[in-house]
A and B are shown apart, each in its own frame.
Chain A
């Protein structure tokens, strides 16, 4: 071991020391927040009611009623304990787990406080969280496929929007499944455009993504205004109906929340597992990642950098196309102008927040889906906070993550740099 590595090691320890303390202080701050803001002014007799079935279920479960004050005190105490431990010893490798635990407790404390004296349909919210996270997670997977191979993809939004429209038209003219296929192909074609611009012509990848986004907005609005409003029969594909998984769907609470969805939610979970496996356990994935980390080294080892990148970007486009189909075939059964409404950029955010890993992206997608579902449910809460601020959270959290406040992400090293084969 050289002196150089030793300094590096020392630097790493120093950084982790500072970060550990900062984390500890943040944990304690959350405990203090629960204590000082939530617990103050709470009537000790006040109770919170959480409903545990989302409705439409045959199995009726009792509402979960608890005293708000007790719950908040327990949560604040738990946060304080975790914070002190982090400050004194540190969770080390398990810091991420501790952060999610603290985050979960804070959100629960907030809900308990905000719904005190009233009733909150917890199961309904969780169910909606899964549904809303679908385009975010699938979109993030699209980004992961591209960026792991070294091509930045900010065109997720445009790909989803175009695929949503193509899926609707094809689905209306044939069947839902053909429509889904059409959406995936449309996404793949836009991926091909992105790949040709970015890889062959070495256009700046952000500009080529912008090209696709602008094009998508133009073409979908054009077709929608010109044709879909005059011919409503091409804007009526129907919706994939929910499918209850036998046995699993009968589990109380979890069943209705997790196992009574249409194919998109199951597909999301399937793709997260599949892509994790492909990227990190197969030779194919190793090659794809090597092209994104150090294309020159990969080239030297005989990996075709261009081919790998083309494949990754086209697959990424198809994934975005699948995500786009959710908006129409999986959700409302109709195409509207600009219906993705910036979800593609939240997907980008989920990819960054999830540290370029599929599982991380799904956790981020669920978190952002939750803030979405909470924003839709704010009216039933006793505490008034503007829903717009909740809708801002994904963006703000992403900026904090990027700034290294919540822990620094590890992006692929060659992300965004075009590869140029050296001439012999």
Chain B
């Protein structure tokens, strides 16, 4: 086939096939298909675990399969209405005019936003690390450190005005997280100890530290449970609505911080240094960049962002420290950061998705008896597909992308 013939053939392509080709070469297609595959496999899991499948299996396998589909569909409907609210209820509430009922009807969507706030911070933390060539797997521990510091400031200082107390507690949380990021950063920069191992170890040190603090020095007076005292009212992040909506000011802080991270990474010299060190440390060293400093700065900043997640969660929602205030936000954030392509805007969008999923799954657990852990399974699948785009492209028979898909490479244990 000559070039001319090829051109003629291309010209004959219909608009639809051009559209499909464009779509299949686009870089957005992989994340979207990853999310869809996660939802699909989650649905299969729900169907497989449904009682109605097995009870009729011996009579009619066909009925059993259709029951499975029905169960999966109903669960997802519960998930969506649980996460976004049901339109009929909202309309009825507005017509009824009762304030409490209106707030209840709108609560799901606000709750989804509340759930996504720690994800925004956590995702920013992980992606800032990835951008700098560092895999911060210790976000969970840094969240706990942020929580410890902010709650301590929150309950032990009394009589401060809210305008001082809130920023004080929030910054304390960020510092707590930063400390937990700084140590592995320093170890990496000065001794070459791999940050993945060190941050994993720091996670468990943070968990044990939390156990101890809640057992002895920080335990609420008169309480037999491992709970810290409730923070002063002046340290609580302001909420915008009455019960039961918990939507609070932290959401706007999160968006502002995301914008700040974008500005820092892409518009400042420091951010440029971090990204260069992340993309090619040898070139960065050759260009005279200070790799030691940039590693320490990146890990500390990443830790600080994670610490803010903890501070936000405790100052805005829980108001006290407990052993289980984070249901694994830090680990989910890894999938989330990659889903958001390590870009602050992408991270915010992915965080909104994960927050919605988690909130919906909570409702689904209560209403349909599907354990909330199903979203971990979905997240694992999303993460696998995002990290190995070749799998998605093989399964869905997509064309090769025009641009090389960004691959994350953490350097081996040796650090070279």
Contacts and interface: CB of A to CB of B under 8 A. Distances in A.
Interface of A: 147, 152, 154, 197, 201-208, 210-215, 217-219, 221-223, 225-227, 342, 345-346, 348-349, 352, 386, 388-389, 391-392, 395-396, 398-399, 402-404, 411, 413-417
A391 B208 contact: yes
B218 interface: no
B409 interface: yes
Interface string B126-139: 00000000010100
Interface stretch (B152-160, B235-243, B387-395): B387-395
Interface in B153-212: 187, 190-191, 193-194, 196-198, 200-205, 207-209, 211-212
Contacts of B379: 214, 218
A207 B204 contact: no
A226 B49 contact: yes
Contact of A206 (B49, B137, B198, B203): B137
A375 B334 CA distance: 32
Contacts of A391: 208
B45 interface: yes
A217 B193 CA distance: 28
A348 B197 contact: yes
A147 B411 CA distance: 14
21 contacts: A197-B384, A203-B388, A204-B410, A207-B410, A208-B384, A208-B388, A214-B331, A214-B332, A218-B376, A226-B371, A342-B204, A345-B200, A346-B204, A386-B212, A388-B208, A388-B215, A392-B204, A399-B187, A399-B201, A402-B187, A402-B194
Given A225-B371, A395-B202, A398-B197, A388 B414 contact: no
A388 B49 contact: no
B412 A201 contact: no
A214 B197 CA distance: 17
Given A197-B384, A211-B384, A221-B371, A152 B413 contact: yes
Contacts of A214: 331-332, 335, 376, 379-380, 383
Contacts of B135: 206
A403 B49 contact: no
B412 A417 contact: yes
B328 to A, nearest CB: 7
Contacts of A206: 135, 137, 196, 410
Which range contains the number of B residues in contact with the other chain? 35 or more
A210 B137 contact: yes
Contacts of A352: 197
B335 A221 contact: no
A345 B201 CA distance: 8
A190 to B, nearest CB: 11
Given A392-B204, A402-B197, A403-B187, A227 B377 contact: no
Given A215-B380, A222-B377, A413-B414, 17 more contacts: A147-B413, A203-B384, A206-B135, A215-B376, A218-B379, A221-B371, A226-B371, A345-B203, A348-B200, A386-B212, A392-B205, A395-B201, A398-B201, A402-B197, A403-B190, A415-B412, A416-B414
Nearest to B383: A211
B31 to A, nearest CB: 15
A411 B413 contact: yes
B254 interface: no
B200 A154 contact: yes
Contact of A207 (B197, B215, B373, B383): B383
B400 interface: no
A402 B193 contact: yes
B309 interface: no
B389 to A, nearest CB: 9
Contact of A386 (B216, B334, B376): B216
Contacts of B381: 215
A164 to B, nearest CB: 16
A154 B378 CA distance: 20
A391 B390 CA distance: 42
The 10 A-B residue pairs with the shortest CB-CB distance in the complex, in nearest-first order: A218-B376, A416-B412, A215-B380, A402-B193, A221-B373, A218-B377, A388-B212, A225-B371, A395-B201, A201-B388
B199 to A, nearest CB: 10
Contacts of B371: 221-222, 225-226
B283 interface: no
Contacts of A392: 204-205, 208-209
A403 B188 CA distance: 8
B126 to A, nearest CB: 11
Contact of B411 (A154, A221, A223, A416): A416
A230 to B, nearest CB: 9
A386 B380 contact: no
Given A207-B387, A210-B331, A389-B212, A395 B205 contact: yes
A386 B209 CA distance: 10
Given A204-B387, A404-B191, A416 B410 contact: yes
A152 B414 CA distance: 11
A202 B409 CA distance: 10
Nearest to B375: A218
Given A208-B384, A218-B376, A402 B137 contact: no
A211 to B, nearest CB: 5
Nearest to A346: B204
Interface string B314-325: 000000000000
A399 B191 CA distance: 11
Interface string B395-416: 0000000000001111111100
B113 interface: no
Q: Chain A CB within 10 Å — which of B202, B369, B413 has the most?
A: B413
A162 to B, nearest CB: 12
Contacts of A386: 212, 215-216
A399 B370 CA distance: 40
Contacts of A225: 371, 373
Given A218-B377, A218-B379, A416-B411, A388 B198 contact: no
Contacts of A154: 196, 200
Given A214-B376, A388-B212, A345 B204 contact: yes
